[in-house]
Structure 1
Amino acid sequence: MIDIVVRVLLMPPMSLIMLILAGYALRRRWPRSGRAVSRLGLAALLVLSTSAGSLLLVRPLEQLTAPLADARASGAQAIVVLAAGNVHAAPEYGGADIPDDIALLRLRYAAHLQHATNLPLLVSGGNGEPDKGIPPKAVTMARALREDFRTPVAWTEERSADTTQNATYSAAMLKAAGVRRVLLVTHAMHMARAERAFRAAGLDVVPAPTMFYSRSTLSPLMFVPGWSGMFRSYYATHEWIGLAWQRLR
């Protein structure tokens, strides 16, 4: 429930739309203040819906980590890749659930690292609903790695519902197998929060981030509002809120 409230009230674009509407409501009693609030909300909505504008939120997050230099020299004993989302009942796969596009980007890099190092691989992600025939995310991830990326999976952590639980449950499985140092695969924007969670769970973490959106070359199209820019702003806002909550806890 709290997660839903956060998504509705604090995340763009809804938070900015609410700010615009609040400005219109204020205009009845305070015309100048109301117009200022509405204009601020509209300006923020336009800026953050561009890929260039989203860099205001994305770049500071991605600067908290760095690309992995040499996986084979990392001293890691295993690879951990974190879930994102699922596509339910994909018709082109015979109605099976499959990892969404965000998860696939992580899986591709995890497969690349596994082929380079031959390290055992753990996939982490729950949110399954057995009564509805919805498998945990780790199950669909493992299937994609084995069938589509020809990559073996040693462990599937199927209970977690968030990053903290990813770390807690994965760490328990890995420690039982004698693993203490891991390559952690997730999006660059998510890495700071994920790394802290896994370190708090008692693992030695070697960050292996993927998808550095802020390193792409600026082009004129990046200043045009669109879905891509808003998605990046939404994702970055989610991570900033997550980091703040992590510090408070």
Structure 2
Amino acid sequence: MLALEKIVASFIMPPGLFILLLLVLTLYLFKKSDSGLIKLLTVFLLLFFFFLSTAFGVQLLLHPLENYAEQISVNAFESYPIVVLGGGLNYYSETEAKPSVHSLQRLVKGYQLHRRLNTPLIYSGGVAIGQDKISEADAAGELLQSLGMDLEFYISEDQAQSTFENAAYLKRWIEENEVEKVYLVTSAYHILRSAAVFEAQNIDFLAVHSGFISDHQFSWLDYLPNRGALTANLSAIHEWVGLAWYYFRGRI
């Protein structure tokens, strides 16, 4: 009975509802339209949206990114500075903003490493485009202080607005302080692009991923349309497009 409820729920809530509507539209056009192109387009949209909303997409788009992160991620033992890359803010007002889920995950991992190694933690993240107050680094510092971190160990990089700028601004600090190597902490799906950018900037780093954003062991329910798969696949597409863009811009 519970399994049946899950199946029904997957098609009466987005994104399953949208797929169901696309299916109805496709059947209608096959009956009413004489255009082969329109029929082909609607079938493509139906299959593509189903792909993005299920584990089929996660396996093809997200897992290669996160598996790469798992392969190069290390356990931190040496006392190198810890670099945490910003993952966005949730703005509540002009004077209040909190780290996003991705940023929070990265911060927690960075703070765990700091507690173990007792080395400086650098958080890189500026003010979001479209906002004019509160940088990611400011919000991260407040959170770390609330967790009990001594801010003497905290270094704020509050200018970067992209992964490329993360590396560019951090390179200045690394060179000024003659740092040999850093731990690079970011989400697993983000490590491939981050690693490529940091390598291009000749920054010596050890990658540490802060966690996955989707299952790697699926049940049959994951092959039904679900919001988690759609969110994960959109994040993966963002990374693949970002990699291509950086490659053509000569940044990696």
When normalised by structure 2's length, the TM-score is 0.78
Segments of 5+ residues of structure 1 without an aligned counterpart are 1-12
- 1:160/1:169 contact within 8 Å kept: yes
Give the match for residue 127 of structure 2: 127
Which stretch shifts more, 29-38 or 77-86? 29-38
Which residue of structure 2 aligns with residue 211 of structure 1? 211
Q: State the alpha-carbon separation in 2 of the partners of residues 151 and 190 from structure 1.
A: 28
Give the equivalent residue in structure 1 for 2:136.
Answer: 137
Structure 1 Cα separation of the partners of residues 56 and 185 of structure 2: 25
Find the residue that maps to 1:71 and give its secondary structure.
Answer: coil
Q: Which residue number corresponds to residue 104 of structure 2?
A: 104
Closer/same/farther in 2, CA of residues 195 and 69 from structure 1, 3 Å limit: closer
Q: What residue in structure 1 maps to residue 37 of structure 2?
A: 33
Q: How far apart are 1:140 and its partner, in Å?
A: 0.5
Matches within 5 A, 1:1-80: 31-66=35-70, 68-72=73-77, 75=78, 77-80=80-83
Q: Which residue of 1 aligns with 2:11?
A: none
Supply the RMSD in Å over aligned alpha carbons. Answer: 3.0
Say if 1:105 and 1:43 are closer, same or farther in 2 by CA, change over 3 A.
same
After TM superposition, the score normalised by the length of structure 1 is 0.79
CA distance in 2, matches of 1:64, 1:219: 23
The 2-side partners of 1:234 and 1:210 are apart by 19
Residue type of the partner of 1:84?
G
Deviation at 1:135, TM superposition (A): 0.6
Residue identity in the other structure for 1:141:
A
CA positional deviation for 1:158: 0.6
Note if contact 2:141-2:154 (Cα within 8 Å) is conserved in structure 1.
no
Q: How has the CA–CA distance of structure 1 residues 66 and 158 changed in structure 2, closer, same or farther, with 3 Å as cutoff?
A: same
Kept after mapping to 1: 8 A contact 2:82/2:121? yes
How many residues are matched?
A: 224
Q: What do residues 16-40 of structure 1 show as CA deviations (whole Å, max 9, x unaligned)? A: 99xx8xx99x999972232122111
| Structure 1 residues 129 and 244: CA distance shift in structure 2, 3 A | closer
TM-superposed deviation, 1:51 = 3.9
**Which whole-Å deviations, capped at 9, do the CAs of 1:105-124 have from their partners, x for residues lacking one?**
11111111111211211000
Percent of residue pairs bearing the same amino acid type: 28
SS of the aligned residue for 2:91 comes to: strand
Counterpart of 1:84? Answer: 87
Q: Aligned pair in 2 of structure 1 residues 179, 232: CA closer, same or farther (>3 Å)?
A: same
Q: CA deviation at 1:77?
A: 1.9
Give the corresponding residue for 2:117.
Answer: 117
Equivalences for 1:214-233 in 2 at 5 Å? 216-233=216-233
Gaps of 5+ in 2: 1-14
